[in-house]
Structure 1
Amino acid sequence: MSDKTSSSEKKIPQVAVITGDIVNSQNSEQGDDWLSALKKQLSYYGESPRDWQIYRGDSFQLIVYKAEDAFGVALRLKAVIKRYKELDVRMAIGVGDLEHHADQVLQSNGEAFVNSGRKFDSLKKQTLAVKTPWQDFDKAINLFIKLALLTIDDWSETSAEVVAASLEHPQATQKEIAALLAIPQSRVSERLSRAGYDAIRDVEEYYRAAIKERI
């Protein structure tokens, strides 16, 4: 990609759009608990229906106005949903401009929506992927995500609970997370290690830095 192209793209206001659905929701024995948890998590990032919407019962779309935050948001959504037995969430992050911001996010459009929708439609067994205006970055980040998913997709409910709390309180110590969840600190350390937390945070930091360089 030429410097001229990169310079031109940097002038475009960039957002991220996350398109997702809940895997195995129809067979869940968890009732609507997961839906309440999903709504609560989405509400951290804006108001419905302008910033996020749930549709078809178990699908959703969310605008993340700071595109560099989107991977971290997706990780939090993953952790929240995987606290429920046999459930998972499949998501595509699309980065690009926001051409039309409607009163309902599902009626908004722009490059970010196109990238998110197309990437989501191309997902097969993989449960998280990214599409941006920068093909070189996409190739690298999607490889890192594919490797990270080997661990993330196997998170147990207890590991997901600890990861969710750690992501929600990034400055908290393991002792503080343990107190929050009413479990021994040794369990927090053990579950974060099993969840590959440090390596996954490294991927998040790479995504964040690389996106900030390009917008």
Structure 2
Amino acid sequence: MNLKAVLTGDLIDSRSMRAPNVFIAQLKILLSELGEHFDAQVETFRGDGFQVVMRHAQDVFDCAVAIRAGLLAASAPGERWDARLALGISQDNTAAQPYSEAFVLSGRGLDGMKKETFCIFSDEPGLQRCTELPTAFLAALIDRWTPVEAQTYFLHLVQGRDQQSIAEQLGKSRVTVTKALQRADARLVDRYLACTRGWVEELQHA
């Protein structure tokens, strides 16, 4: 089964920040970096809205975590930069119509979100059932991350750096990095990403 994965999102409280244009500029820089890293197509719209279309559906959860971690890591002093994300996954039927159902699921999903910061919407019942609750737990965990914890996990996830390399890049001790990853519950996030990636891959090979 060929799957399509789409992330639709918008920045949280961007207009209430002291320099919203800087916030939006940072989003564009981050999306450009992650689009190249994950081989994904990115687009921004309505000022603080954006969409990421994954070439490899199994990478979509990693990309979602990277977006939130990257924004949080770049937060201006005294502010919290973050985004709401709606993840849509469906069978890729773009050969029969211009847009996959994943686009609709993701867009409508974001419109229907209230206080949630990360949700999944899929027309594959098994995948929805497996991922919905752990994704809610993950969102609650990321909601508590500090910029330092987010920056440390971002380097761990996107750049694949070990703790010593992260410490050297940040100019901090390895102990400090270890503690930041522990506070971020990095091992649990890693397990979540491994599980979700595996579930999508299993569905693709079904």
TM-score, length-scaled by structure 1: 0.83
Q: Deviations along 1:151-202, whole A, 9 cap, x unmatched?
A: 21011111111111111222x2101011111111111111111111110111
Deviation, 1:122, is 2.2
Residue number among 76, 94, 100 corresponding to 1:99 in the alignment: 94
Find the aligned partners of 2:28 and 2:81 in 1 and give their Cα distance.
Answer: 16
Q: Are the aligned partners of 1:78 and 1:88 in contact in 2 as well (CA < 8 Å)?
A: yes
Q: Deviations along 1:57-113, whole A, 9 cap, x unmatched?
A: 10001101100000000000000111212222100111121527xxxxxxx622110
Find the aligned partners of 1:129 and 1:99 in 2 and give their Cα distance.
Answer: 23
Deviation, 1:37, is 2.8
Q: Report which stretch shifted further, 37-46 or 199-208.
A: 37-46
Deviation, 1:126, is 1.3
What SS is found at the alignment partner of 1:115? helix
- Look up the equivalent residue of 1:33 and give its one-letter code: V
Find the aligned partners of 1:87 and 1:35 in 2 and give their Cα distance.
Answer: 10
Aligned residues: 194
Find the aligned partners of 1:199 and 1:33 in 2 and give their Cα distance.
Answer: 32
Q: Give the corresponding residue for 1:120.
A: 110
Deviation, 1:31, is 4.7
Deviation, 1:30, is 4.6
What SS is found at the alignment partner of 2:94? coil
Query: Are 2:146 and 1:156 aligned?
Result: yes
Residue number among 177, 183, 193 corresponding to 1:188 in the alignment: 177
Q: Give the corresponding residue for 2:71.
A: 81
Find the aligned partners of 1:73 and 1:30 in 2 and give their Cα distance.
Answer: 25
- Look up the equivalent residue of 1:127 and give its one-letter code: T
Find the aligned partners of 1:143 and 1:36 in 2 and give their Cα distance.
Answer: 32
Q: Are the aligned partners of 1:19 and 1:92 in contact in 2 as well (CA < 8 Å)?
A: yes
**C-alpha RMSD of matched pairs (Å):** 1.9
What SS is found at the alignment partner of 1:93? strand
What SS is found at the alignment partner of 2:35? coil
Q: Deviations along 1:30-77, whole A, 9 cap, x unmatched?
A: 55333333222222325xxx9221111100011011000000000000
Q: Are the aligned partners of 1:98 and 1:112 in contact in 2 as well (CA < 8 Å)?
A: no
Query: Are 2:124 and 1:129 aligned?
Result: no
Q: Give the corresponding residue for 1:110.
A: 100
Find the aligned partners of 2:141 and 2:14 in 1 and give their Cα distance.
Answer: 21
Query: Are 2:53 and 1:63 aligned?
Result: yes
**Percent of paired sites with the same residue:** 27
Q: CA 1:58–1:31 in 2, change beyond 3 Å: closer, same or farther?
A: closer
Q: Give the corresponding residue for 2:43.
A: 53
Deviation, 1:123, is 1.4
TM-score, length-scaled by structure 2: 0.87
Find the aligned partners of 1:184 and 1:53 in 2 and give their Cα distance.
Answer: 38
